[in-house]
A and B are shown apart, each in its own frame.
Chain A
Amino acid sequence: MTERHTGPLLEIKGIKTHFFTQDGTVKAVDDVTFAIGHGQTLGVVGESGCGKSITSLSVMRLIERPGRIVAGEVLLNGENLLDKSDGEMRDIRGDQVSMIFQEPMTSLNPVFTCGDQIAEAVQQHTAVSRREAWDRSVEMLRIVGIPDAKRRASEHPHQLSGGMRQRVMIAMALSTDPDLLIADEPTTALDVTIQAQILEVMRDLREKNRMAIMLITHDLGVVAEMADEVVVMYAGKVVERADVRTVFGSPHHPYTQGLLLSIPRLDERRERLQVIKGTVPSPLNLPTGCLFKRRCPHRMRVCDVAPPYQELGPNHFSRCWLTPAGEAPSVGPDAEGPEAEQAAEALTVEAR
């Protein structure tokens, strides 16, 4: 633990999760580093295939074959989760770290009542009677804003609407008072008015329980509203990381800038949307050097060499050759070979 942060709750250090497929190795998560403090909300943003969900599954150690975490550390309160036995890990999941998934229908068991499913989680982690566990689950349903919680607890998932199911998922995830909630696209399948309800519930609980949230989403609006800090991922790597105001106010990486400019806004009229040309590269056929270079408006020769991970300001990192002011690097836009590699190394900082 570094001294500047007084002990972050979760630290992910240089984690690499690779999938060994018949067609080759897919580096779904490639050297990702970030941290979340107690009570903080970290937004993880990126498009499909950028590795944001795999990052969260890696934290939970839920990677299945042919995938494997090949390097790195996941420190929860300073303890490396990757060293835990399966049994220890089961105790941690749900107790210290809980997760909610995008699809509330497929994540709930259709044959048990909602109350039973929450009570089961409670009994797993605390020594309480069935009766007490049931009472706790009714209370949780009430906390997440389900009207008539007592009756709803004895209903099955199919009897509830999508928004209510997501609340049940949240109730289950929070029933054990976790320190960290990992929410993977928690509102993507929901309508905006229901999304607003769910986000409000999450905000409330964050304040009451000082719970940290790792919020994975592609919706920049949700991130702007919920997150304290933001990590932008592209093709398995963190390309930019900063506090939320910096990411939205003065983004540095061309990908972050492109994302922000390409969304239609309600509060302004954009005649034409800016686009990021091209598509995300295939994970089996990534370009050398900068992964974003083929789509980047600032492409230089030097981008054929892997760009440095620069610290641009307090806690603002960007994986790009451009200087903090957005100009060509001092080594020159056409630098190549060992010269450029050395320059990249010199500019790269060890992210905390």
Chain B
Amino acid sequence: MSDQRIAATPADAATTPDATTGSGGQTSGGQTSGGQTSAQRTAARGGSGRGPLLEVTDLVKHFDIRGGLLGISKLGAVRAVDGVSFSVNEGETLGLVGESGCGKTTLGKVILRLLPPTGGRVNFEGKSLFDLGSREMKAARRDIQVVFQDPYASLNPRMSVGEIVGEGLYVHGMTNRKEREAAVRDLLKRVGLNQQHIHRYPHEFSGGQRQRIGIARALALRPKFIVCDEPVSALDVSIQSQVLNLLSDLQDEFQLTYLFIAHNLAVVKHLSTRVGVMYLGKLVELSDADELYRSPAHPYTKALLSAIPVPDPTVRRERIVLKGDLPSPANPPSGCRFHTRCPMAQEICKTEEPPLRDVGGGHMSACHFAEEVTPLEERRPAALPA
């Protein structure tokens, strides 16, 4: 069964009723993506009008701070992810940005069930991932894969490329060595690596090539959904663009859906259909990628956008310099978490937490004064005569 599936084209694979639909069985209307022909899926890149593949509801992840004499009394909790809801539509890329400590990586790990959740729900194709038993989860993992940030730390130095990329295939039932090697060679070709390098080890590759190995590994089981956690931030600019292009080519080729987590807003905007902005464990804004840049509806997003240096010396973008540092997620501010640094903060912001609400056309913002956030000003002072 699994061998068949690996050999099958992605479109076929998607319609093959197989192990992914475990005993959890019948999906509760979530699987609306019927008639998954390749053409339709490709046409739908952009995502709208398609059912959600992944639904995250009120996801919470707290890390307990323990101490005391035996180190077991609970002193508090770091609220890394504190009630986040969003959905990812089939075929789209949802970007997730935020500064270090905002909880974006933790969120990705909880979705992958690499960390146990504190609360909330994650539905994949209508099924709750947190309710799956270990065998069902194993099956689900074929559809949900991950590419990590650090291409040096995320590949086992004692395994050859063939073993790294083929391990998932083996675990999921492709036990024939020859067959596996052929599959791995095919994967290497697709991610732009030399097939002759199948027996080499990670240290023999450059950073960009290693990241391609990581991508080949994620692709091996023909997943539907890939969490990309800062996949290009460790790479040089010229290599970064190669990997970004590869990711978007593969998305077209295999009809992939991405959750793309990064701190670089320009990179996220480039690849994403929609972008979510996180601050201190909360989603503060979620909107279409271009719209987010054109008319941000949260003062934090605006400040974040304004802080990015423009690679053009003739452009002067309005600069909002935020005061102070990020507050501790163990002891977040009351009301709106951003009020301590917000240039627009009012009394209400200290006491009342703003809900994430639609401010028009599906543009979501968690700000009491979302309507008053103005677009960023950009000036191009007349170029001086040479």
Binding site for B on A (CB under 8 A): 47-48, 147, 161-164, 191-197, 199-200, 218-225, 244-245, 248-249, 258-260, 262-267, 269-270, 272-277, 279-280
Contact = CB atoms under 8 A, between A and B. Distances in A.
14 contacts: A48-B236, A192-B263, A192-B304, A192-B307, A197-B321, A219-B309, A221-B308, A248-B314, A262-B240, A262-B241, A263-B266, A264-B244, A267-B310, A280-B236
Nearest to B232: A264
Given A195-B307, A225-B310, A263 B265 contact: no
Interface residues of B, number: 46
Interface in B261-294: 263, 265-267, 269-271, 290, 293
Contacts of A162: 100
Interface string B304-332: 11111111111100010110111000000
B319 A196 contact: yes
B263 A279 contact: no
B242 interface: yes
Contact of A147 (B267, B314, B322, B324): B324
With a 10 A CB-CB cut-off, give which of B209, B242, B265, B315 has the most chain A CB atoms: B242
Given A47-B239, A163-B325, A245-B314, 16 more contacts: A164-B325, A194-B99, A196-B319, A221-B310, A221-B311, A224-B312, A225-B309, A259-B238, A260-B311, A265-B311, A266-B265, A267-B378, A270-B270, A274-B241, A275-B242, A275-B245
Interface of B: 99-100, 206, 208-209, 236-242, 244-245, 248, 263, 265-267, 269-271, 290, 293, 303-315, 319, 321-322, 324-326, 378, 383-384
A273 B311 contact: no
A269 B266 CA distance: 10
A248 B312 CA distance: 6
Contacts of A267: 293, 310, 315, 378
A279 B242 CA distance: 10
B269 A245 contact: no
B325 A47 contact: no
B269 A264 contact: yes
Contact of B99 (A192, A197, A223, A270): A192
A147 B236 CA distance: 35
Nearest to A219: B309
A108 B8 CA distance: 56
Contacts of A263: 237, 240-241, 266, 311
B276 to A, nearest CB: 16
Nearest to A217: B309
Contacts of B239: 47, 279
Nearest to A243: B313
B266 A265 contact: yes
